[in-house]
Amino acid sequence: MAMPKDPAIFVALDVDDPKRAEALAEKLSGHGFGFKLGPRLMLREGAGLVRSIARHGDVFVDCKHLDIPTTMVAAVRAAFESGARYSTIHASCGPKAIQALKPLTQEFPGHRILAVTVLTSFEPETLPFAWKGTSIQDLVSGLARECADQGHRAFVCSPHEVKSLKQMIPDGYFVTPGVRPAGGDKGDQVRIETPAQAALNGASSLVVGRPILEATDPLAVAMQMQKEFLTGV
């Protein structure tokens, strides 16, 4: 069975008001966008919001699970059963958890489990204690390689590291947050790039939040960023 087409851009609905999230999804509906739901809304609204947003595009539940394997499997299954097509885990969960999660991709064909490598808010000076002394590039590559050794092929990384991961795992699917229009505000992201540069580096899909959420015309900004990503200019 062929994998359904992935959205070029997931719009991060990182807001507190579910009505605002639904209104934005409706405004962007019909243009091929996916929608990311994180803990801010999932802890308040749960599966009902996933089903509502899924009427407008593929849903990406981004709760970044890191737990014992049985709990991670149950959490990802719950996301898929609620109507999400994508769910995130931490790549640092270890090979045992990656192996335990693999059957879910057969149980839910066309769905993706995305392994988050190193958050785009990190820089060398702010890495956790256990990661101190290792470059971010080496951390990302090492985490991805450990997952890939277990057959995992879908990752989240910054646009700075995606080029090397694409070379290491040519058949991988790489989602890159930390994407901003040229000259846009960085916010709390550190390792960022433009849509065109992310595409050039090898990104498969982008996650974009504030540049769209805070725009006077969210659809126009989303369409422009999608065009830049797909055309590379």
Question: What integer pLDDT is reported at residue 178 of this predicted model?
Answer: 84
Asked whether residue 4 is domain-assigned, the answer is no
Do the Cβ atoms of 62 and 88 come closer than 8 Å?
yes
The predicted-structure confidence for 212-230, as pLDDT tens digits, reads as follows: 999 999 999 999 999 999 9
Q: Could you give the residue ranges of the DSSP H alpha helices within 34-155?
A: 39-45, 47-53, 69-81, 95-107, 136-148
Of 55, 54, 57, nearest in space to 8 by CA = 57
Query: Both ends of the chain: CA-CA distance in Å?
Result: 33
Residue 174's CATH number: 3.20.20.70
Q: What is the pTM of this model?
A: 0.93
Asked whether residue 211 is domain-assigned, the answer is yes
Tens digits of pLDDT across the chain (233 residues): 567 899 999 999 999 999 999 999 999 999 999 999 999 999 999 999 999 999 999 999 999 999 999 999 999 999 999 999 999 999 999 999 999 999 999 999 999 999 999 998 898 999 999 999 999 999 999 999 999 999 999 999 998 899 999 999 999 999 999 898 865 554 545 556 899 999 999 999 999 999 999 999 999 999 999 999 999 87
Alpha-carbon Rg for the chain in angstroms: 17
Q: Which of these is catalytic: 64, 102, 132, 186?
A: 64
Name the average pLDDT for the chain.
93
For residue 216, count other CB atoms closer than 10 A to its CB: 6
CA distance 171 to 117: 17
Helix (H) or strand (E) holding 167: helix 162-168
Asked whether residue 168 is domain-assigned, the answer is yes
Question: What integer pLDDT is reported at residue 221 of this predicted model?
Answer: 95
Q: Which structural domain range is residue 197 located in?
A: 9-231
The predicted-structure confidence for 12-44, as pLDDT tens digits, reads as follows: 999 999 999 999 999 999 999 999 999 999 999
Asked whether residue 85 is domain-assigned, the answer is yes
Query: Does residue 102 have an active-site annotation?
Result: no
Asked whether residue 3 is domain-assigned, the answer is no
Asked whether residue 140 is domain-assigned, the answer is yes
Count: domains in the chain: 1
